[in-house]
Chains A and B, each alone.
Chain A
Amino acid sequence: MPSTLETTENLTTDLQTIASDVVHRAVQGGASAAECVAREGDEFSTVVRLGQVETLKEAGSRSIGVRVFFGQRAASTYSSDFSTAGIERMLKSALELAKITSEDPFAGIPEAEKLGALSGDLDLYHEDVYSLAGPERIDYARRAEKAALDSDPRIKNSEGGSFDAATGRKVLANSHGFVGEYRRSYCSVAAVPIAQDDAGNMQRDYWYSVARSLSRLDPAEQVGKEAARRTLRRLGARKAKTAHVPVVLDPMVANSMLEHIFEGVNGDSVYRGASFLAGKLGQQIAGSNITVIDDGTMVGGFGTSPFDGEGIPTRRTVVVENGILKSYLLNTYTAKKLGLETTANASRGLAGTPGIGPGNYFLQAGAKTPQRIIGDIKDGLYVTEFLGMGVNLVTGDYSRGASGLWIVNGELAYPVEEITVAGNLKDIFNNISEIGSDLEFRGSVACPTIRIDGLTVGGE
């Protein structure tokens, strides 16, 4: 049971000290190895709708998690209670829980010599995300929404403009003596306008800007106008006929195709044979124009960190080179299972075994502008939104809802909706016939405009 009176005593103690102490006490308690993660963060968010503040949210929180090993048995526990009693209880249940797990010959923390962190300033933290006073933050959101509402009389409603800021600190310590820490900051501005045509039909879309520093955030007005443009072009959407036509993906949705490769090379799916890319290392899995890279070291990147979720320095990994599958993305456990080396892609939540996450993960840009890619197509589909998750990574079967614009004689002619796009991922990556020059990081995964041939568009 939680204790009542001592919850503040650890508030001023440094997170690194707490994490190291937890590891030390786990080993004292009989664990052969231990690893502790501690996090603290603050968040601010506001939504302004039709010019009025709708929500204002502000809070901070801390949490801690421990993973213990008894030989090759592992278990993990977590808590938001930093009191002495709370941490004691977390440790005790971890040591207890490890008794019921199985001996797994591949379980364990990384070898000591692999641990470490990138040196130098990775440009991940800027205090300025909180530098605006409360009213100015609200104004940022208000200006984004206003720019959208003022763009066109058909923008008649809105789900609001928003401004968010957050900072977080993460500490990792383990029984090989590793103690590491990094801080990251984040701010974003967004607008979600709603347009209505004369018949009363509504369409909604959005746009946003996100940055690690307030100084790099796009102006609110620019975000609002782009949101309005994306919304207005959807008005009057109709269904399309079932057809086999070239399909062009806007970068916002092309991202998702790249994520399917990520899920396919994720070591956890690979060793279980649960991926359409399992066993394909060294083989041609995509067209020779396809090169995919994961790089956790890019200065200022959204997917950058000095070390991964197990305390291994992040690195740059060529995943696909000219269509050849060069590397899976792995953590320590999945690397051992496959007889390979980790790629430092361990992602560590508070509880459970580490998963696998991307660094800055992207498809290398091509030479053509998006306009030229569209300009080459007589009859085709330009997708601006996918709906649903109809992707089977075991078989590669792919079927998703879509909306966008129909391409006629090289022009975006009219909006379409309530259609499907289907194929198989094994074919899709061999049929990416064009790659745009418009690679831009708006998150940790980035993909330029791409053209895919051979898909089925389902409609009337």
Chain B
Amino acid sequence: MTETRQHFFFEHYGLTNQDLEKYLAAALSAGGDYADLYFEYLTSTSLMVDESMVKSASQGISAGCGVRVVSGERTGYAYTDDLTPARILHAARTAALIASAPAKTTVTGFQEKPARSLYPVTLPSVDAEITAKVELLMRADRASRGFDPRIKEVRASYADELRTILIVGSDGTFAEDSQPLARMNVSAIAKTEANSGRGTSGGGGRIALDFFFGEKNPEHFAKEASRQAILQLDAREAPAGDMEVVHGPGWPGVLLHEAIGHGLEADFNRKKTSAFAGLIGKRVASEKCTVVDNGTMPWRRGSLNVDDEGQPTQETVLIENGILKGYLSDKLSSKLMGLADTGNGRRESYEHIPMPRMTNTYMLAGQDDPEDIIRSVKNGIYAVNFGGGQVDITNGKFVFSASEAYLIEDGQVTAPIKGATLIGNGPDVLTRVSMVGNDLKLDEGVGTCGKDGQAVPVGVGIPTLKVDRLTVGGTARRDTGGYMQ
């Protein structure tokens, strides 16, 4: 936590403990089990270089307060972007309408938990010189174009923010945090007379600007985007149908996020709308699989000192040696389900109601040598890079789209193939994991997860992973099927 931003809302908006108590009392004026206030002050910058020109630069500020009242399974919510006492009180009284009982006793006193410091940025990126950020993008543009003459278009973008929050609850919760977040993206287009290709790359985290002057510099991302675009020029049709799929380490961990992660969010399981409901203690993966969600990794995009309900984040084991161990919960779900609060209550902003969300979700490394994993495949694909994914948590079906993949023929990685969607069934896909590499890698730090219209930054990771059967959505014809009408 940056020391200078402590008690931010007290200093800059004149808030006092008495004010907070008064707002919470208004929120509980019609009864209710719990109320909390989420104050947010967000500054952000975004820059874009296109055609080697700085075409877009913008900065903004938003501030507001969300008031929540929980009564049994009911939630009342109201927010204001005007932090004057009259407006906050109005929001509190609006949220209070969810309950209909005598007022609760007044809240007095708050307990501030010991602060953690997972992203101790002394000079947040938002405060750094803007010219330094522009120079990063110009370097990316040069490196991407310089990679190969067939690279015809490059777009490089940079975005950072600093979110300062204060959360107080009627249970005495008092938490402050200052959450930096920065990322850089490069997208490149390659063209020849006959073909075209697209590549994208990016990275970041809860970091200071100096992150981009190290190993993960603009040239690193630029070369990666250009390499992918050039590779696509020669890609052949992807196969169609069920086959063995080897996932490369890192970002392909989006597999876990879609197949397992969402289905284990406690709200879906409390309501029994998830394909994973009632499976705790049951086998949902091969014994080589141990999957965790960990919000405590320093500098990571998905990490948080406290979640958006003021609860410290933690490492939660979801699957241990193939057995389903736990769910990701927030305050409401943990109370209603009698579970521990795992610190996964998150929200996009003060305008949103918190709910269980992932942080950094990954599979622990196994014993297998990645080269042995490839060698074990007779006829399959090797997917090393993905776009996004999606899941239907009720029937468990999930997809994720490979953007860089290769054929594996007789144990050898051969030709690159066009992008293809992979589809599977969450509750059983991990039971078909037959080999787990010793090379766990986390993604570069650009993941954003959407749920119920709310976007939050997350991380994913896996070691090299072999799934014995997954459906690949290519176009190449095999002898099955044929065109019938």
List A residues at the B interface (Cβ < 8 Å): 1-2, 4-5, 7-8, 11, 49, 52-63, 65, 74-82, 86, 89-90, 93-94, 97-98, 100-104, 107, 134, 157, 159, 194, 201-204, 234, 237, 239, 241-246, 272-274, 350-353, 377-379, 385, 387-390, 392, 394-395, 397, 399-401, 403, 417-424, 456-460
The reply to whether the CB of B241 lies closer than 8 angstroms to some CB of chain A is: yes
- 28 CB contacts below 8 A, A to B, read A2-B83, A4-B14, A52-B74, A56-B75, A57-B76, A57-B77, A61-B64, A61-B80, A62-B81, A63-B81, A78-B61, A80-B81, A97-B130, A204-B394, A241-B481, A243-B481, A272-B50, A351-B59, A387-B398, A389-B388, A397-B419, A417-B397, A419-B423, A420-B471, A420-B472, A422-B474, A456-B477, A458-B471
User: Judging by beta carbons under 8 Å apart, are B273 and A159 in contact?
Assistant: yes
The reply to whether the CB of B57 lies closer than 8 angstroms to some CB of chain A is: yes
Residues of B within 8 A of A53 (CB): 74, 98
Residues of A within 8 A of B394 (CB): 194, 202-204
User: Judging by beta carbons under 8 Å apart, are A80 and B64 in contact?
Assistant: yes
The reply to whether the CB of B53 lies closer than 8 angstroms to some CB of chain A is: yes
Residues of B within 8 A of A52 (CB): 73-74
Among all A-B residue pairs, the 10 with the closest Cβ atoms? A420-B473, A401-B399, A388-B399, A102-B53, A204-B394, A390-B421, A390-B401, A351-B58, A78-B60, A458-B240
Q: Which of A4, A76, A241, A418 has the most CB of B within 10 A?
A: A418
Residues of A within 8 A of B477 (CB): 244, 456
User: Judging by beta carbons under 8 Å apart, are A59 and B399 in contact?
Assistant: no
Residues of B within 8 A of A244 (CB): 477, 481-484
User: Judging by beta carbons under 8 Å apart, are A420 and B153 in contact?
Assistant: no
Give the shortest distance, in Å, between B300 (CB) and chain A (any CB): 24
The reply to whether the CB of B315 lies closer than 8 angstroms to some CB of chain A is: no
- How far apart are the CA atoms of A89 and B55 in the complex, in Å? 22
User: Judging by beta carbons under 8 Å apart, are A55 and B74 in contact?
Assistant: yes
- How far apart are the CA atoms of A392 and B29 in the complex, in Å? 54
Nearest B residue to A400, CB-CB: B421
Residues of A within 8 A of B41 (CB): 2
User: Judging by beta carbons under 8 Å apart, are A58 and B94 in contact?
Assistant: yes
The reply to whether the CB of B259 lies closer than 8 angstroms to some CB of chain A is: no
With beta carbons under 8 angstroms apart, the residue of A61, A377, A397, A419 that contacts B471 is A419
Chain B, 398-441, CB within 8 A of any chain A CB? 398-401, 403, 418-421, 423-425
User: Judging by beta carbons under 8 Å apart, are A8 and B84 in contact?
Assistant: yes
User: Judging by beta carbons under 8 Å apart, are A56 and B77 in contact?
Assistant: yes
- How far apart are the CA atoms of A7 and B477 in the complex, in Å? 65
User: Judging by beta carbons under 8 Å apart, are A79 and B471 in contact?
Assistant: no
User: Judging by beta carbons under 8 Å apart, are A273 and B471 in contact?
Assistant: no
Give the shortest distance, in Å, between B90 (CB) and chain A (any CB): 10
User: Judging by beta carbons under 8 Å apart, are B399 and A78 in contact?
Assistant: no
User: Judging by beta carbons under 8 Å apart, are A395 and B61 in contact?
Assistant: no
Q: Known contacts being A80-B62, A352-B58, is A456 close to B474, with CB within 8 Å?
A: yes
Residues of B within 8 A of A401 (CB): 390, 397-399, 421, 423, 473
Give the shortest distance, in Å, between A93 (CB) and chain B (any CB): 5
User: Judging by beta carbons under 8 Å apart, are A399 and B130 in contact?
Assistant: no
Chain B, 144-202, CB within 8 A of any chain A CB? 152-153, 155, 189, 191, 195-198
Q: Which of B73, B80, B82, B131 has the most CB of A within 10 A?
A: B82
Residues of B within 8 A of A8 (CB): 82, 84, 86-87
A-B contact sample (17 more), CB < 8 A, given A2-B63, A400-B399, A420-B474: A2-B61, A2-B83, A4-B14, A7-B84, A56-B74, A57-B77, A59-B351, A93-B59, A101-B55, A101-B57, A102-B55, A204-B394, A242-B478, A272-B153, A401-B473, A459-B242, A460-B471
Nearest A residue to B187, CB-CB: A274
The reply to whether the CB of B116 lies closer than 8 angstroms to some CB of chain A is: no
Q: B41-68, CB under 8 A of A: which get 1 and which 0?
A: 1000010101101111111111110000
Residues of A within 8 A of B475 (CB): 399, 422-424, 456
Give the shortest distance, in Å, between A215 (CB) and chain B (any CB): 26
Residues of B within 8 A of A204 (CB): 273, 392, 394-395
- How far apart are the CA atoms of A402 and B483 in the complex, in Å? 19
User: Judging by beta carbons under 8 Å apart, are A394 and B473 in contact?
Assistant: no
Give the shortest distance, in Å, between A272 (CB) and chain B (any CB): 5
User: Judging by beta carbons under 8 Å apart, are B130 and A100 in contact?
Assistant: yes
- How far apart are the CA atoms of A160 and B73 in the complex, in Å? 13
Q: Known contacts being A78-B60, A351-B46, A456-B475, is A61 close to B79, with CB within 8 Å?
A: yes
Nearest B residue to A377, CB-CB: B485
With beta carbons under 8 angstroms apart, the residue of B55, B395, B482 that contacts A353 is B55
Residues of A within 8 A of B328 (CB): none
- How far apart are the CA atoms of A86 and B81 in the complex, in Å? 13
Q: Known contacts being A52-B73, A395-B418, is A79 close to B53, with CB within 8 Å?
A: no
User: Judging by beta carbons under 8 Å apart, are B484 and A379 in contact?
Assistant: yes
Residues of A within 8 A of B73 (CB): 49, 52, 54
User: Judging by beta carbons under 8 Å apart, are B61 and A80 in contact?
Assistant: yes
Number of residue pairs spanning A and B whose beta carbons lie under 8 angstroms apart: 301
- How far apart are the CA atoms of A26 and B438 in the complex, in Å? 58
The reply to whether the CB of B272 lies closer than 8 angstroms to some CB of chain A is: yes
User: Judging by beta carbons under 8 Å apart, are A389 and B76 in contact?
Assistant: no
Give the shortest distance, in Å, between A88 (CB) and chain B (any CB): 12
User: Judging by beta carbons under 8 Å apart, are A7 and B83 in contact?
Assistant: yes
Q: Known contacts being A2-B13, A80-B61, A244-B477, is A420 close to B78, with CB within 8 Å?
A: no
Nearest B residue to A420, CB-CB: B473
User: Judging by beta carbons under 8 Å apart, are B399 and A392 in contact?
Assistant: no
The reply to whether the CB of B91 lies closer than 8 angstroms to some CB of chain A is: yes
Nearest A residue to B423, CB-CB: A401
The reply to whether the CB of B387 lies closer than 8 angstroms to some CB of chain A is: yes
- How far apart are the CA atoms of A377 and B398 in the complex, in Å? 29
User: Judging by beta carbons under 8 Å apart, are B152 and A59 in contact?
Assistant: no
Residues of A within 8 A of B131 (CB): 100
- How far apart are the CA atoms of A392 and B131 in the complex, in Å? 33
User: Judging by beta carbons under 8 Å apart, are A243 and B55 in contact?
Assistant: no
- How far apart are the CA atoms of A134 and B275 in the complex, in Å? 34
Residues of A within 8 A of B191 (CB): 273
Residues of A within 8 A of B94 (CB): 58-59
- How far apart are the CA atoms of A426 and B284 in the complex, in Å? 41
The reply to whether the CB of B232 lies closer than 8 angstroms to some CB of chain A is: yes
Residues of A within 8 A of B91 (CB): 59
The reply to whether the CB of B120 lies closer than 8 angstroms to some CB of chain A is: no
- How far apart are the CA atoms of A79 and B58 in the complex, in Å? 11
User: Judging by beta carbons under 8 Å apart, are A352 and B46 in contact?
Assistant: yes
Give the shortest distance, in Å, between A70 (CB) and chain B (any CB): 12
The reply to whether the CB of B298 lies closer than 8 angstroms to some CB of chain A is: no
The reply to whether the CB of B143 lies closer than 8 angstroms to some CB of chain A is: no
User: Judging by beta carbons under 8 Å apart, are A75 and B83 in contact?
Assistant: no
- How far apart are the CA atoms of A54 and B72 in the complex, in Å? 9
Nearest A residue to B277, CB-CB: A202
User: Judging by beta carbons under 8 Å apart, are A352 and B130 in contact?
Assistant: no
